[in-house]
Amino acid sequence: MIIVTGGAGFIGSAIVWRLNQRGVEDILVVDHLGESEKWKNLVPLRFTDYLDRSVFIDRLEAGDFGDTIEAVFHLGACSSTTERDADYLMENNYRYTARLAAWAEAHPECRFIYASSAATYGNGDQGYEDDEARLHLLRPLNMYGYSKHLFDLLARRKGWLSRMVGLKYFNVFGPNEDHKGDMRSLINKAYPGVRDHGKIRLFQSHRVDYGHGEQRRDFIYVKDAVEMTLFFLDHSEVNGIFNIGAGEARTWNEVAAALFQAAGTPGNIEYIPMPEGLRAKYQYFTRADMTKLRKAGCDRVPMSLEAAVGEYVTEYLGPDRPLGF
């Protein structure tokens, strides 16, 4: 059996989808649906059972699943970079992950792969190299990033990274992110306005070294992120911290241009002030260093930004878009 926590969420549901394509259906989906619409992500998927996150962790630690677990993909977390309840983030993102990892450490026959985040890199002063020896130098800009960073440090300190994998996902976009609210990608949020009015809003730059819309991020399509993630299921000899990104930095203006092109409209960009509370926590530049992943043997070449946005718009954001993948 394979367990996917956050399995109804964005990347988690995409992993279940790809496992289904591989013929794998003995999957336990763990999540917390609440009143969100992410249950819709589960409808097209095939899996054995579903458990709420609070029920699952107690049953796992009690040994209810025996020795049937082949792998755990731990994608479940609060992914909001603007979440202000630090105690909630510590419990949900850090402590829960620590409990799962401790269980995995006691069960070496089970592959444990967890989601870290590019938010752990902070403003990028220390670069974007996925080197465990440099983890203590990183300074996340928000509590979400810190909650992820704190577990990376714990895993290194306990020696767990020699037997498990932590993945620093950069800006992932694609199908099944509708439920994420403000944390959805710009492509998802802006598409209706682009389609109906040919208009998109981008944050102004509040730094003299970046023009408006020239802030740069590493954008990666969710299908590419999933293939890179599943590489570690196929290669249990590879462990440690790894970046999951495209390996290039693209501007928000280029994202807008790709969206205009996919929607078939000339487009118009309006630059609006960045909220005061966000300015000190905003990453103006990210670019995943992919050297370590390539050396490990993962040769997945990500789709270009333009091709990925084009597929996302034409196949998943149109008026007759499918439910899930």
Q: Catalytic residue numbers?
A: 144, 180
Query: What is d(CA 144, CA 135) in angstroms, rounded to the nearest whole number?
Result: 16
Judge whether 140 and 149 are in contact, CB under 8 Å. Answer: yes
Q: Using CB atoms within 10 Å of the CB of residue 255, give its burial: 0 to 12 exposed, 13 to 18 middle, 19+ buried.
A: buried
Q: Which residues of 26-53 are buried (b: 16+ CB within 10 A; e: fewer)?
A: ebbbbbbbeebebeebbeebebeebbee
Q: Are 151 and 168 in contact (CB under 8 A)?
A: no
Cα 315 versus chain centre, distance: 21
Contacts of 192 (CB under 8 A, 6+ apart): none
- Tell how many helices (H) and how many strands (E) occur in the chain: 11, 13
Beta bridge partners of 242: 167
> Could you say which DSSP state residue 142 is in?
S
**63 — alpha (psi -120 to 50), left (phi > 0) or beta?**
left
User: Which residue intervals of 1-90 are DSSP H helices?
Assistant: 10-21, 53-61, 86-89
Picking from 122, 325, 294, the residue whose alpha carbon sits closest to that of residue 221 is 325
